[in-house]
């Protein structure tokens, strides 16, 4: 009873304290595609994705009801970082849905033109506002509508202390007449959040660190069955050292030393297998989540064999490795010999037949693809051939009799129409492919079946093709698995290598694409297709994460295009739309919504590309 009454009271007082309009809410998920297109169309950085931002504390004065309810400490604001444009996961602060949508569009336009360097926040925000109105005059009327609604949300200067009132009046003047305020008056508290401007002091993302894998093993990823959070926004985090747990007892304790429950306390807590329904709310209440690595493994959520295999059990290395460059987007330079790629071939891969469950599908696909084989056709109007072209002879005779005779070929000959193309399939074999897509199959199983059917289809057409897989463990260990080279015939031995593939480590795409491009560029074909089959974006344990990996992959693909290659990506990643257009361009990729359909769809995609 107490819990029920408490929950009702909390709901009642929170609703009274917060001026929100849930029925008029607009979500970022609902306008996600529009947001990305709009941001890039206005000149925003095309390498940035659009992601949900976490609410951040603002420190401004709160009303009495907010203090009673314990609410109003955080606000959803927007900002830019090196990886993404961060927008609130939902906007419900304005009384009309059209206004909340307009606020999204205004913030996107502001982010597209704002310069991150230079003047103070208030001057920078005013200048960005003026720039948007100058470049995009249609945004002025939208800003005028938003201004009246946003000013109504702000605190009354007459009810604030003198210093805070002066700051509030200055902000109102800056909003009403952008460019009129040079600096904000000093005050004892920060200003109330300005929803028409970007974040004054955006949180810095936790740096990617290659921290402390124990016994040579990388941090572990989930198996695809763990519960996902219902909300889409990210949360701020920091890396901390794991407590040593040497002093488990508190011999001396003073109650006044506890500031709040959100303070980080170095207490070693065991991993819990039960799901905590209140975890999302607890994470929302924290300003920053502290993350430490304890070196222990959860019993049931992890399905990976993460230990580096011994030399006797691992695939056989081919040579001592190949040094490859890598693009450093912050420095805007190509770092020579930065990665070491190790070609490998399966050590234990006995020849095998095509799996029985694929036999019927393979027969149907082979029959379809045999229609694409080079055909013997008659070519007419030739000056030399195996027999006369009767139609050409009759036409020539008629032209000569009318005095309009012209030189023309009078023979026909047999010619073969060769497709003259080569294809290289590069398959992602990273840890994430061990995730389950159904009760009976993992992503790696789907990829394996796809490679089988793809090879069956291309062997029916006679097209030159090769198959490779890749994964990585930092820049010194990019594993490049040879499944079939261009000079090899597709047979039981090749099927044995395909059957032996298994999940590897991480996804350093740039190095794998550069090495594969060199093989494909050597093929004497008119059309050369570089197929990339993946289930996620570039990543690795070191700094090869987020924007760094995306930019290196983009440069590697640009280098492939300069070689005359045609890159094309097939992915099962549901979030691929946020980064693949930047890498492969519109029409350069396809997302398979049902991963189980990938084996059947892949050969058909190839047929459409090469038709």
What percentage of residues in the chain have a pLDDT greater than 90?
49
517 and 539 fall within a common domain? yes
Confidence of residue 210 (pLDDT cuts 50, 70, 90): very low
Report d(CA 600, CA 363) in Å as an integer: 12
Give me the domain span that covers residue 153.
2-176
Q: In 3-state terms, what secondary structure has residue 163?
A: helix
* Spatial contact of 110 and 197, defined as CB atoms under 8 Å apart: yes
Any idea of the CA torsion for 553, 559, 561, 562, to the nearest 10 degrees? 170
Give the pTM: 0.71
DSSP, res 48: -
Give just the sign of the alpha carbon dihedral 550, 552, 557, 558: positive
Confidence of residue 557 (pLDDT cuts 50, 70, 90): very high
Q: Is residue 310 in a domain?
A: no
Report d(CA 421, CA 376) in Å as an integer: 18
Q: Is the model more confident about 248 or about 465?
A: 465
Q: Of the candidates 155, 176, 197, which is a domain's last residue?
A: 176
What is the structure's pLDDT at 5? Answer: 78
Q: Is residue 92 in a domain?
A: yes
pLDDT 10s digits, 503-555:
999 999 999 999 999 999 999 988 999 999 999 899 998 889 889 999 999 99
334 and 413 fall within a common domain? no
40 and 72 fall within a common domain? yes
405 and 458 fall within a common domain? no
259 and 323 fall within a common domain? no
Stated as kind and residue range, the H or E segment containing 130 is helix 121-135
Chain-wide mean pLDDT for the chain? 82
Stated as kind and residue range, the H or E segment containing 107 is helix 97-113
Closest of 464, 200, 449, 477 to residue 317, by C-alpha: 477
Q: Of the candidates 129, 159, 176, which is a domain's last residue?
A: 176
Q: Of the candidates 176, 207, 226, which is a domain's last residue?
A: 176
288 and 333 fall within a common domain? no
Q: Is residue 509 in a domain?
A: yes
Report d(CA 80, CA 198) in Å as an integer: 8
Sheet with 49-53, strands from edge to edge, namely: 49-53, 84-88, 79-80
What is the structure's pLDDT at 4? Answer: 82
408 and 438 fall within a common domain? no
Q: Is residue 400 in a domain?
A: yes
pLDDT 10s digits, 106-140:
999 999 997 756 688 999 999 999 999 999 999 99
Radius of gyration of the CA atoms of the chain, in A: 31
Which long-range contacts does 37-46 make (Cβ < 8 Å, 24+ apart)? 38/105, 38/108, 38/109, 39/85, 39/108, 39/111, 39/112, 42/108, 42/109, 42/112, 42/113, 42/135, 42/136, 43/112, 43/113, 44/85, 44/108, 44/111, 44/112, 46/582
Q: In 3-state terms, what secondary structure has residue 208?
A: coil
493 and 540 fall within a common domain? yes
Q: Is residue 183 in a domain?
A: no
**Number of domains making up the chain:** 4
Report d(CA 239, CA 237) in Å as an integer: 7
Confidence of residue 282 (pLDDT cuts 50, 70, 90): low
439 and 463 fall within a common domain? yes
**CATH number of the structural domain spanning residue 337:** 3.40.50.410
Length, in residues, of the chain: 611
What is the structure's pLDDT at 577? Answer: 81
Q: Is residue 187 in a domain?
A: no
Report d(CA 283, CA 541) in Å as an integer: 25
* Spatial contact of 86 and 53, defined as CB atoms under 8 Å apart: yes
DSSP, res 452: H
Q: Is residue 517 in a domain?
A: yes
240 and 345 fall within a common domain? no
412 and 390 fall within a common domain? yes
pLDDT 10s digits, 463-514:
899 999 999 999 999 999 999 999 999 999 999 999 999 999 999 999 999 9
Report d(CA 319, CA 322) in Å as an integer: 8
52 and 119 fall within a common domain? yes
What is the structure's pLDDT at 465? Answer: 95
Report d(CA 512, CA 425) in Å as an integer: 11
Q: Is residue 557 in a domain?
A: yes
């Amino acid at each position: 009873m107490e819990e029920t009454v408490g929950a009702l009271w909390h709901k009642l007082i929170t609703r009274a304290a917060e001026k929100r309009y849930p029925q008029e809410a607009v979500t970022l998920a609902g306008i996600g595609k529009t947001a990305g297109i709009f941001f890039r169309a206005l000149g925003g950085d095309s390498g940035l994705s659009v992601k949900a931002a976490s609410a951040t504390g603002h420190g401004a004065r709160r009303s009495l009801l907010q203090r009673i309810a314990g609410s109003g400490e955080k606000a959803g604001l927007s900002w830019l970082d090196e990886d993404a444009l961060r927008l609130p996961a939902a906007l419900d602060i304005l009384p009309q849905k059209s206004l909340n949508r307009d606020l999204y569009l205004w913030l996107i336009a502001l982010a597209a033109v704002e310069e991150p360097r230079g003047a103070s926040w208030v001057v920078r925000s005013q200048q960005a506002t003026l720039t948007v109105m100058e470049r995009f005059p249609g945004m002025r009327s939208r800003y005028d509508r938003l201004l009246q609604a946003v000013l109504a949300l702000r605190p009354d200067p007459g009810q604030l202390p003198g210093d805070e009132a002066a700051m509030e009046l200055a902000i109102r003047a800056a909003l009403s007449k952008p460019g009129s305020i040079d600096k904000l008056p000093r005050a004892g508290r920060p200003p109330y959040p300005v929803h028409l401007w970007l974040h004054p002091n955006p949180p810095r993302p936790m740096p990617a660190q290659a921290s402390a894998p124990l016994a040579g093993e990388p941090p572990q990823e989930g198996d695809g069955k763990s519960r996902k959070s219902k909300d889409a926004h990210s949360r701020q985090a920091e890396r901390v050292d794991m407590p040593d747990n040497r002093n488990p007892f508190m011999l001396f304790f003073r109650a006044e030393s506890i500031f709040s429950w959100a303070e980080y306390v170095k207490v070693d807590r065991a991993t819990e297998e039960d799901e905590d329904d209140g975890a999302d709310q607890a994470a929302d209440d924290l300003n920053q989540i502290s993350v430490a690595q304890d070196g222990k493994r959860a019993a049931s959520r992890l399905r990976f064999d993460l230990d580096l295999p011994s030399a006797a059990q691992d695939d056989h290395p081919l040579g001592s490795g190949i040094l490859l460059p890598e693009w450093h987007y912050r420095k805007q330079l190509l770092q020579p010999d930065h990665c070491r790629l190790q070609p490998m071939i399966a050590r234990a891969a006995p020849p095998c037949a095509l799996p029985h469950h694929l036999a019927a599908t393979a027969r149907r696909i082979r029959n379809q693809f045999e229609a694409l084989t080079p055909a013997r056709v008659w070519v007419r109007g030739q000056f030399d051939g195996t027999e006369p072209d009767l139609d050409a002879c009759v036409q020539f005779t008629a032209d000569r009799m009318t005095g309009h005779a012209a030189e023309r070929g009078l023979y026909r000959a047999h010619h073969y129409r060769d497709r003259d193309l080569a294809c290289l399939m590069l398959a992602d074999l990273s840890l994430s492919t061990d995730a389950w897509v159904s009760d009976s199959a993992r992503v790696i199983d789907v990829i394996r079946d796809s490679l089988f059917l793809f090879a069956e289809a291309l062997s029916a057409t006679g097209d030159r093709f090769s198959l490779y897989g890749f994964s990585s463990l930092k820049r010194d260990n990019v594993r490049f698995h040879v499944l079939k080279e261009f000079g090899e015939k597709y047979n039981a031995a090749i099927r044995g290598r395909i059957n032996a593939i298994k999940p590897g480590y991480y996804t350093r795409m740039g190095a794998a694409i550069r090495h594969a491009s060199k093989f494909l560029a050597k093929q004497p074909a008119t059309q050369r297709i570089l197929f990339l089959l993946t289930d996620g974006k570039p990543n690795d344990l070191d700094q090869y994460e987020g924007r760094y990996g995306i930019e290196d992959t983009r440069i590697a693909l640009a280098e492939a295009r300069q070689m005359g290659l045609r890159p094309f990506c097939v992915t099962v990643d549901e979030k691929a739309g946020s980064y693949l257009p930047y890498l492969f361009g519109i029409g350069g990729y396809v997302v398979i919504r049902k991963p189980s359909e990938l084996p059947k769809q892949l050969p058909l995609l190839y047929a459409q590309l090469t038709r």
